[in-house]
Chain A
Amino acid sequence: MTSIKLSNADYVKQLLKNNERDDKRGFMEYRTINIINGFIPNAEGSARVKLGYTDVLAGVKLGVEEPMPDKPNEGNLMVSAELLPMASETYEAGPPTPEAIELSRVIDRGIRAASAVDLSKLFIEEGKVWTAFIDVYVINYDGNLFDAGELAAMSALMNTKMPKYEDGKIIKEESTGKLPIGNLVTSCTFAKIGKSILLDPTGLEEEIMSARLTVANDDKYMRAMQKGIKGSFTGEEVEMLIDTSFEKSKQLRKVLDENKVD
């Protein structure tokens, strides 16, 4: 087991020395992004995102709930992430792992901080608001679940239909329009291997990275960051990655826009 890991590490590091990646990409280049909206017709909104071989499905369901006590006039949203046992040899069935919880919380943080959903428009009546349940399912893991998950969640939200609410009942068959969307938020995740930093790491690259940084932004502001695993970044590196994320987020927003369903 160890020797296989070492050879993987040597292989990737050898490539990086020659400024190459396993899949021939540039260091700051995304893999091909493919979005299928409305993959789950039973859900109010859904999107399946393929980022290279990483395959993530987000489903949105809307429920009527009590508002949070400190925000009586606002709707809620909740993000959960499920690393399906089928998605990787290393995933196991059971309660959410710290990795799954971190993934869902980072996706949630970007959406919330950017006001990607206009929660103020989800008020129904005194004591009743809409709650958007966003479930992110990882179907196949090949690195960078953060960006794939954020894209899937954002795309699903953009294509979510509001059911009708009448006499205390949700009428799924009738829609009152789209879920009110605010700013489009996307994230860019970087992996550090040796001295190299790579955008959109694959599973192979994540296996040997020393540190990870996710930066989420909309078209104006940086909205969330999360550094992961044990390695470190210098201040200058973080500055550079923030600048790169602003640049790359344009591409991601364009992909979201192009795949929007009217």
Chain B
Amino acid sequence: MSSSREKPILIIDGKRLDGRSFDQLRPLSITTNVVPNADGSAFIEWGNNKIIAAVYGPKEALPKHTQDPERAVIKCRYAMSPFSSAEEHGSSKPNRRAIEISKITKEVFENVILIDEFPGGEINIYVDVLQSDGGTRAAGITAAAAAVASAGLPMRDIPYAVSVGKADGHLILDMNKIEDNYSDADVPMTICPRTKEIILLQMDGSFDGSKEFREAYSMVLKAGEEISRIQKEALKEPYTKIIDKYR
């Protein structure tokens, strides 16, 4: 959030620093099946973010005391590589921020995966941020959703995530690192596209109230159409490749 360092102007002549309009996503691409050992995986490039998500399971939950006799447990680890940020060398050990993100990411997938189908099982979701440029939790969840779907796990929906920020009184979609550092608010959301339910919601900064939230939510839903489309394209891609080969 705001810093006492000289605050850069984030919006010039109605455009953002990288030339985007307020409700424009950064370039976004997803490739599935990038980790052959995993049951499902996805690589996402979202702006300058580069993130790999991989999924293992369901398998028997170990150690045994972590088992739930009625459903699968989801274990999630979000981590940033020590070389991922433009700042100094980081620690690869999960810090408090990473533990919080791991927790809320886990909760997203507890919602959408039909965990009741796998009593006593565990599903592992790994999100590794290789390069970060703002919005890594949203990009990580969007990639992990594709990875879970590519693993063939039953889901009630394929969620996507994106964040809305605020700068100079304008709501701005999908902030990059500079915007994230100096914006007046950051509201990441994760949505189930079929029902439009909100399954992850956080906020940091200042918002006037519910009206501003409504604007942010509709911005997210609109952008979500594009993000969902890219997720689904990525999921189809390995199969269309095979079909093309035998056509």
Chain A proximity of B224: nearest CB distance (Å): 12
Write the chain B residue with the least CB distance to A229.
B107
Contact segment of B130-138, B196-204, B229-237: B196-204
Confirm or deny: B39 has a beta carbon within 8 angstroms of a beta carbon on chain A: no
Take A71-B3, A98-B99, A105-B96 as given contacts and tell me if A239 and B214 are in contact as well, using a CB distance cutoff of 8 Å.
yes
**Contacting pair B196 A105 (CB below 8 A):** no
Write the chain B residue with the least CB distance to A183.
B206
**Contacting pair B210 A239 (CB below 8 A):** yes
**Contacting pair B103 A221 (CB below 8 A):** no
Confirm or deny: B4 has a beta carbon within 8 angstroms of a beta carbon on chain A: yes
**Contacting pair B206 A235 (CB below 8 A):** no
Chain B proximity of A192: nearest CB distance (Å): 11
**Contacting pair A73 B214 (CB below 8 A):** no
**Contacting pair A225 B205 (CB below 8 A):** no
Confirm or deny: A223 has a beta carbon within 8 angstroms of a beta carbon on chain B: yes
Confirm or deny: A186 has a beta carbon within 8 angstroms of a beta carbon on chain B: no
Chain B proximity of A235: nearest CB distance (Å): 5
> For window 92-116 of chain A, which residues contact chain B by CB distance below 8 Å?
96, 98-99, 101-102, 104-105, 109, 112-113
Confirm or deny: B100 has a beta carbon within 8 angstroms of a beta carbon on chain A: yes
**Contacting pair B208 A70 (CB below 8 A):** no
Q: Which residues of B contact A113 (CB under 8 A)?
A: 1, 204-206
In angstroms, Cα B107 to Cα A105, docked, is: 17
Confirm or deny: B36 has a beta carbon within 8 angstroms of a beta carbon on chain A: no
**Contacting pair B99 A226 (CB below 8 A):** no
> Which residue from B196, B202, B208 sits with its C-beta under 8 Å from A227?
B202
**Contacting pair B207 A233 (CB below 8 A):** no
Q: Which residues of B contact A242 (CB under 8 A)?
A: 209-210, 213
Take A221-B208, A225-B187 as given contacts and tell me if A112 and B217 are in contact as well, using a CB distance cutoff of 8 Å.
no
**Interface size band for B:** 35 or more
B-side binding surface: helix, strand, loop or mixed? mixed
In angstroms, Cα B202 to Cα A32, docked, is: 28
Confirm or deny: B28 has a beta carbon within 8 angstroms of a beta carbon on chain A: no
**Contacting pair A230 B110 (CB below 8 A):** yes
Chain B proximity of A128: nearest CB distance (Å): 16
Confirm or deny: A145 has a beta carbon within 8 angstroms of a beta carbon on chain B: no
In angstroms, Cα B198 to Cα A222, docked, is: 18
Confirm or deny: A82 has a beta carbon within 8 angstroms of a beta carbon on chain B: no
Confirm or deny: A238 has a beta carbon within 8 angstroms of a beta carbon on chain B: yes
**Contacting pair A228 B104 (CB below 8 A):** yes
**Contacting pair B202 A232 (CB below 8 A):** no
Confirm or deny: B162 has a beta carbon within 8 angstroms of a beta carbon on chain A: no
Q: Which residues of B contact A215 (CB under 8 A)?
A: 203
**Contacting pair B1 A243 (CB below 8 A):** no
Q: Which residues of A contact B213 (CB under 8 A)?
A: 222, 238-239, 242
Write the chain A residue with the least CB distance to B197.
A232
Q: Which residues of A contact B49 (CB under 8 A)?
A: none
Q: Which residues of B contact A246 (CB under 8 A)?
A: 209
Chain B proximity of A105: nearest CB distance (Å): 5
> For window 108-155 of chain A, which residues contact chain B by CB distance below 8 Å?
109, 112-113, 120
Confirm or deny: B84 has a beta carbon within 8 angstroms of a beta carbon on chain A: no
Confirm or deny: B5 has a beta carbon within 8 angstroms of a beta carbon on chain A: yes
Confirm or deny: B31 has a beta carbon within 8 angstroms of a beta carbon on chain A: no
In angstroms, Cα B203 to Cα A175, docked, is: 36
In angstroms, Cα B201 to Cα A239, docked, is: 12
Q: Which residues of A contact B214 (CB under 8 A)?
A: 235, 239
Q: List 12 A-B contacts (CB under 8 A).
A: A71-B4, A99-B103, A113-B206, A221-B209, A222-B209, A222-B213, A223-B204, A230-B199, A233-B197, A234-B197, A242-B209, A242-B213
Which 5 residue pairs of A and B lie closest in terms of their CB atoms, listed nearest first?
A225-B203, A232-B197, A227-B201, A230-B110, A239-B210
Chain A residues proximal to chain B, CB less than 8 Å: 2, 70-74, 96, 98-99, 101-102, 104-105, 109, 112-113, 120, 213, 215, 221-235, 238-240, 242-243, 246
Apart from A112-B1, A238-B198, list 15 A-B contacts with CB within 8 A. A98-B99, A101-B96, A101-B103, A105-B97, A120-B4, A226-B201, A230-B107, A232-B195, A232-B199, A235-B217, A239-B210, A239-B214, A242-B210, A243-B210, A246-B209
